[in-house]
Every structure is written in C-alpha cells, then in structure tokens.
Structure 1
Amino acid sequence: MSLSAENLIAIRRQLHRIPEIGMEEFETQALLLKIIRAMPQAFLQIKTWKTAILVHVQGSQARYTIGYRTDIDGLPVTEETGLPFSSQHPGKMHACGHDIHMTVALGILSYFAEHQPLANLVFIFQPAEENASGGKQLYEAGALDEWMPDEIYAFHDNPQLPAGVIGCRQGTLFAGTCEIHAKFIGKSGHAAFPQNAKDMVVAGAAFVTQIQTIVSRNLDPIQAGVVTLGHFNAGTVGNVIAGTAQIDGTIRALTQEINLKIQQRVRTIAESIAAGFECQLELDLHQGGYYPVENDPQTTKSFISYMENTPGVAYQETQPAMTGEDFGFLLSKIPGTMFWLGVESPYSLHSEHLAPKEGAIIKGVTAMIGFLKQRQIEIKSK
C-alpha cells in the first residue's frame, strides 16, 4: 500500500531526528533502505554508492528513463526548534529541509512501486548536497551510468511560500556559486620600520576594495552577480606589520558564463595585487558542482503547464534566488527541472529554528505523482 500522509509524517520525523553531514549519512541510508525494502519489490532494483541509494523502477514500456533526485544530508547546526522529534545528533540538524525532500521522494516511490510506470523511473537519494558536491561526485563516479535518466526532476522546500504551493520558472532558479580562498604572503615586521616589511593588511585591503568593482564595472547591469568577502584574517597585534592575510568569500551568478567571468576577474585582481605588493599569492577558486540551476525549456514547460492547470495544485511563478544547489551540475548533464515546494515558516533555510509545515508533504507527493504520470503519457505519444 502506498505510504499515507500519516505514514509520511512519521517517516519525516524519524529522518529529522538523525541528521548527518555529507558523505557520513550512514544511519540515514540504513533507514531509507529499510523503508524502501518494505515496499513491493516486483518493479524495483536497488543499488548503493557510498551513502547514496539508487532505485530503478522498471517501466512497462521502457524506452525512456525519468530521474527524480532528493538530497539526504543535514547541516552542522544546533537545533533550537523545541520540537519533540528534534535532532538526536548534537550539533547537527536538518535545517535545510532535506528530511522533507526525502519523505516526498519516498511517497512518490511508494506509489510507483505498486503502480508500474510506463517509463523507467530512477530515484536518486544523493548525499553531500551541502558540503561536497555529492551530485557531481555520484555522476563522475559512474554510479548513474547503468540507469542514466533522459530527463530529471528535483525540488527544494521554500519557507517563504505557503505550505504545499509549487513554485517554478523558466530559466535559472538558483545561482551557481564559487568559493574564494585567497592568501597573500608578504613579510612581517616592526610597525616603526615599514620599509623592511611587506604589509599584507594593506595588500588585503586593496584586494577587498578592488573586488567591489567587478559587479558594478565588469558586468552588464541587467545581468546578476554577487561577490561577497565574509572573512578577513591578518596580523596579531597593533604594532606588528602583518606578514599574511587570509581572505575568504563567495561568488554567486545566475549563469555559468557570468560565474566564470567573475572568477576570471577575481583571479586577475588577486594576481595584480600580489605583483603590486611584491608578495606571494595562494588562490583557490572552488566551484565544485554548484553550477547555476538552469531549468530545461521543454521539461519545464510541461511541468508548469501541468501544475497551472491541475485542480487542487497551487502554483506560483517564482523569481531567481542567489542560493546555491548542486542539482545544477546534474542539470548541466541531463535536461530537467527544479522547483520549489512551499513549507511556510517564519524562519529561513539553515536557521536553527526552521520548522517546515508537514502538510506540504502529501501535497508535494500528490502533485509529483500526477505530473510524472502525465509526463509519461506525453513521452509515449511522441
């Protein structure tokens, strides 16, 4: 029997109690496998890769494969919700709602475990979305090769949308991100003798100042990008010239082209600062798998049409967000669509107080089962 709303809420609470950091989701994987193996197995094949789980649902007319991805990791956040099913893992929490993501995926899977689909379906329970580009790792390891989807779908919960509302848009949903780690290495010295030192506070300050010109002077004003430097560490005491400066930040852009352009400007500026201040530079621009989440035009047109025109589904067009998501890497390889599921909370994603409304779960499950059934009919008729 397909998982009921009550079953799903109970599962979500079990998952919420056991958040784990990316690539360490052993307890989560074990619970997911237990639930999946309790479903009818006639159409299912299950395999694992590290802490990931892949479930193949055999279609009755298997000419096409549709993927559905959910992330499974938590965050290094100490929960402050006061819920009776709060995290039992100190210093860890499902503060980004991945427990909701997993539960919706299980609800959809339980339906198709009992009702054989026309197309093949592949459910991807992916680790390390938050910290280690788990989607990129899984893809590049070849874990998907046997069951490579022809198109793929995923969602992220959204505290700003009413519970159960589906949000989507054509084009970019989430920004691509890139970490900036810059270390300038000069020579420390006495404050009274600056000529004998190479001051990395001044070099770092010049870097911070010049970085601010990238968005304002290197990008088309109608193109979106953000460069934020959130960490600057240099020196020890006020009368000693700092010999090193460590500066860390992030790049956000709505297209990969703009992200790469900003990365190049960061590199050029950093290298120019190092040359000008006669110091060494260690620069790491790390994007990993956090590409922009750029929705495919055709799959997204089909998705939006279904959600807009189906009674009982509340749909809302949303604006792009500068948050990052490693589903962008999978979308760079496989056409597909990412969407929002409203969970209505006064607290933001990653907040220690985030408590999504659980009524969104069954609404998300119902909407996606309906869409996947409709999508398979569309594909069959082509």
Structure 2
Amino acid sequence: MIKTINEKKLEQKLIGYRRLLHEKPELAFEEYETTQLLNQWLAEAEIERAELPLRTGILAVIGGKKPGPTLALRSDIDALPIQEQTGLPYASKTAGKMHACGHDFHMASILGAALLLKEREDELEGTVKIIFQPAEENGRGAVQVLKTGVLNDVQAILGMHNMPYLPTGTIGIKAGALMASCDRFMIEIEGTGTHGAAPEKGVDTIVAATQIVTALQTIVSRNISPLSSAVISVTRIQAGNTWNIIPETAELEGTVRTFDEDVRNIIPVRMKSIVENVARAFGAKAKLKFTRQGHPVQNDGQLTKWAAETAEKSGLKVIEPIPTTIGEDFAQYQESIPGAFFFMGVSGSSDLHRPDLIIDEGAILPSARFFANLAVDLLKKIKDR
C-alpha cells in the first residue's frame, strides 16, 4: 500500500489546493485558470504533462519505467452557473459561478493520488495517465478527450463522484448500472394565435402543450415494463407574452433518464407519436427534437471487485450504493474502455447542484490514498491477468 512520509502535511496541501480551486470556479470549456493552477502544481511535483490538444484540461503521465499496462484516473474540472450561498471564507469569488457539484473535491483528490503515485514511480508496473477533463457538466468533455486519441492505449479507466449523502470514510462500489443515460428533448408546437376572449377563432397551443405533458407520462406507466425504470421530465414550458392573447407557438423542453438501452430506444419513438398525435387532436402541429447526450454508467465487474478489495485495505467502508438517475459523461469512456466509477462519501450539508453545499474536506486524503493504492494494485492485477 502507498504511504506518504507526512500525510498531515499532504492533507493540508490538498485542502489548500481545493479551497483555491473553489474560489475560482469556471464553466465548461472556460477552465483556463483552473488548467493553469493544475499545471503549476503538477510541475512543482515534477510530474510529466503530456500533450492534450484541447483548450482546457490536462493529461499527466506517471510511471512507464517498467513494462506493463496503462490505466487512467479521471477528474472533471468545470463548475456550474450557480450563485454560492455557503458563507465559507473561501467561497466563490466569481458571481453566478460555483463548484456546486464538487469537482474541486475531485481535482484535489486525484491530484493527491498523482502526488502519492509520483513517490512510487520507480516501482509502478506500467503507466498511469491522469486526466483532468473539461466540460463534464454539458456532457461534451469526455467525447472531446476521446477524439484526441490520448487514451487509445489505456486498458482501464477509473473515476468517482463525491456523494453528499454518504458519510466520510465510505465508498459506494457497484458492478453494472450505476448512473443513468442523459437525453434531452425539445418540442415545438404551432397553432393559431387569437384573442383570449375568442378561443374558437384560433388553435390553442397552451392547451395542446399541457395535454402533451400529461400524455408523455403514460410512456413510463404504460409502455415500459414495471421491472424496468425511466424518468421523463418536462422542465421548461414557454408560450405567450401577455395575459389576453392565446399564443401562436409554444415550446417544451426536458430530459429522459434510464439505465436500460432498450428502454432508451423505445422512449423517443413513443414520444414522437404522442407529441404529433396529441397536437393533431387539438388542431395544432408539433415537432419533437430528441438528442442523446450520454450513455448509462456501466461498471466493469472485475474492476469493481478489485476496487472493493483495495478500498477495504485503504480503510474505507465499502457499500453497494443505490443507482442514481443523474447522468455522468464518464460513461463515454466506458463505451470503449473497461471502466469503474465510484461514489465517495463526503458528509455533505446539502445535495449536489445546491448553492449551500458544503463537503467534508477530511474526505480528500482518504480519496487520494484510495486512488493511488488502486492504481498500484490494478497495474499488477491487469499485468498478471
């Protein structure tokens, strides 16, 4: 197992890194200062940085002095357009932006793992690539990293998300489905505008829109097996601009989540039929635009088994978490690379994407230690497999 000479000093360093990152949140593909800070800290530790042909993000490389497999550790780096309300002394200094998803925690933890791995670089039986990935929140960052080809030689990829409801010292590890697919839809409805006092002279898009919202819910209740699961949520309705005119157009937008690819394929087909035919029943026209944004996170069984063994040796309490319908673009890596994604307990004060979320910084060092230990263990196990 990996040990550092003075873990207390390392912990304080990582907490300091995390707080500075927390003060300087940047949105997807705008993480310029974040990238600069990470690059500076890696350079100070004499960790090699490889070329990553993207505007933001970093690829670091540790090991390679002994023959063996290559694996990757991934952290996301972007923040959210949320106004922070924690009152912390190191709260966001940028109005309207916050690390409300805890990516600052992820960066500090994986950076800590890199520092620990650097201490044992001569002993690593292979190579560890560290990816600080931009733009997770818009679901496009992982795809951009994959397009560069820098992971073509990677045989396993590992990542995590902090989980506020889990106590510090706990890690959620589960084979198979862990996080849902994340798809987006938009519905445009066209009718005939008219005075609100004479609805018979027009085609009411608001009535058609509300009936479509209701009808869409029958897909889950009547077209999906009760043994499967799915969520269809309409999250935005926009129509009209005054109190006495029935608008000519209306627009609906929302998201679809599921763990099952077969269910994922059924839903847009049924949505199209419902949208078009319900609108037609009210004399309107409607068009569905359905965009697939992210696959379900599906963990490799062997990697999760090995990870659970390492977690226990690292002093973490291992639990099997309940899958979540939140999406995560780590799934894009798993489409071509065996991967495992974990939930790290942080004893959060609130939920993810909340302006008042505060996490326990005491979870940073255990997380860093786990990922460093796991990298060492997996290099040996994959090599001997």
The interval holding the TM-score normalised by the smaller chain is over 0.9
1:17 equivalenced with 2:23 (yes/no): yes
Q: 1:328-382: CA deviations, max 9, x gaps?
A: 1111221110001111023101111111100000011111212221111212222
- Give the Cα separation in 2 of the matches to 1:276 and 1:224: 29
Deviates more, 1:164-173 or 1:98-107: 164-173
1:154 equivalenced with 2:159 (yes/no): yes
Aligned CA distance change for structure 1 residues 250 and 269 (closer, same or farther; 3 Å): same
Deviation at 1:285, TM superposition (A): 1.6
CA contact (8 A) 2:189 2:279 kept: yes
Work out which of the residue numbers 57, 61, 64 in structure 1 matches 2:62.
57
| Letter paired with 2:176 | G
Q: 1:272-314: CA deviations, max 9, x gaps?
A: 23444444434322222x2111111121122123324x26222
1:208 equivalenced with 2:209 (yes/no): no
- Give the Cα separation in 1 of the matches to 2:272 and 2:153: 36
Deviation at 1:213, TM superposition (A): 0.2
Residue in 1 that maps onto 2:367: 364
Within a 5 Å distance, the mapping from 1:309-324 to structure 2 comes to 310=313, 312-324=315-327
1:40 equivalenced with 2:46 (yes/no): yes
Report the 3-state secondary structure (helix = DSSP H, G, I; strand = E; otherwise coil) of the residue aligned with 1:4: helix
Residue in 2 that maps onto 1:338: 341
Aligned CA distance change for structure 1 residues 311 and 26 (closer, same or farther; 3 Å): closer
CA contact (8 A) 2:314 2:373 kept: no
- Give the Cα separation in 2 of the matches to 1:110 and 1:220: 48
Residue in 1 that maps onto 2:129: 122
| Letter paired with 1:113 | K
Aligned CA distance change for structure 1 residues 238 and 92 (closer, same or farther; 3 Å): closer
CA contact (8 A) 1:22 1:132 kept: no
Deviation at 1:243, TM superposition (A): 1.1
Q: 1:69-122: CA deviations, max 9, x gaps?
A: 100000011111111111111111101000000001111111222322212111
1:221 equivalenced with 2:205 (yes/no): no
| Letter paired with 2:135 | A
Aligned CA distance change for structure 1 residues 189 and 366 (closer, same or farther; 3 Å): same
CA contact (8 A) 1:229 1:250 kept: yes
Residue in 2 that maps onto 1:326: 329
- Give the Cα separation in 1 of the matches to 2:99 and 2:197: 52
| Letter paired with 2:228 | Q
| Letter paired with 1:197 | G
1:374 equivalenced with 2:377 (yes/no): yes
- Give the Cα separation in 1 of the matches to 2:150 and 2:271: 35
Aligned CA distance change for structure 1 residues 143 and 15 (closer, same or farther; 3 Å): farther
| Letter paired with 1:374 | D
Residue in 2 that maps onto 1:305: 309
- Give the Cα separation in 2 of the matches to 1:264 and 1:104: 42
Work out which of the residue numbers 105, 113, 122 in structure 1 matches 2:118.
113
Count of aligned pairs between the two proteins? 376
Work out which of the residue numbers 294, 299, 303 in structure 2 matches 1:295.
299
Residue in 2 that maps onto 1:196: 201
Structure 1 residue runs without a partner (length 5+): none
- Give the Cα separation in 1 of the matches to 2:268 and 2:150: 30
Within a 5 Å distance, the mapping from 1:125-204 to structure 2 comes to 125-139=132-146, 141-145=147-151, 147-204=152-209
Q: 1:152-185: CA deviations, max 9, x gaps?
A: 0000001101113111111111111111211101
Structure 1 runs of 4+ with >4 Å offset: none
Deviation at 1:62, TM superposition (A): 3.3
Report the 3-state secondary structure (helix = DSSP H, G, I; strand = E; otherwise coil) of the residue aligned with 2:349: coil
- Give the Cα separation in 1 of the matches to 2:338 and 2:267: 25
TM-score scaled to structure 2, two decimals? Answer: 0.92
Deviation at 1:46, TM superposition (A): 2.2
- Give the Cα separation in 1 of the matches to 2:153 and 2:191: 50
- Give the Cα separation in 1 of the matches to 2:297 and 2:220: 20
CA contact (8 A) 2:168 2:345 kept: yes
CA contact (8 A) 2:276 2:287 kept: no
Work out which of the residue numbers 273, 288, 301 in structure 1 matches 2:278.
273
| Letter paired with 1:196 | K
TM-score scaled to structure 1, two decimals? Answer: 0.93
CA contact (8 A) 1:40 1:114 kept: no
| Letter paired with 2:226 | P
Work out which of the residue numbers 339, 350, 354 in structure 2 matches 1:351.
354
| Letter paired with 2:18 | R
- Give the Cα separation in 1 of the matches to 2:184 and 2:35: 29
Q: 1:181-218: CA deviations, max 9, x gaps?
A: 11101211134544432211121122111101011001
CA contact (8 A) 2:188 2:287 kept: yes
**Identity over aligned residues, as a percent?**
35
Structure 2 residue runs without a partner (length 5+): none
- Give the Cα separation in 2 of the matches to 1:33 and 1:159: 28
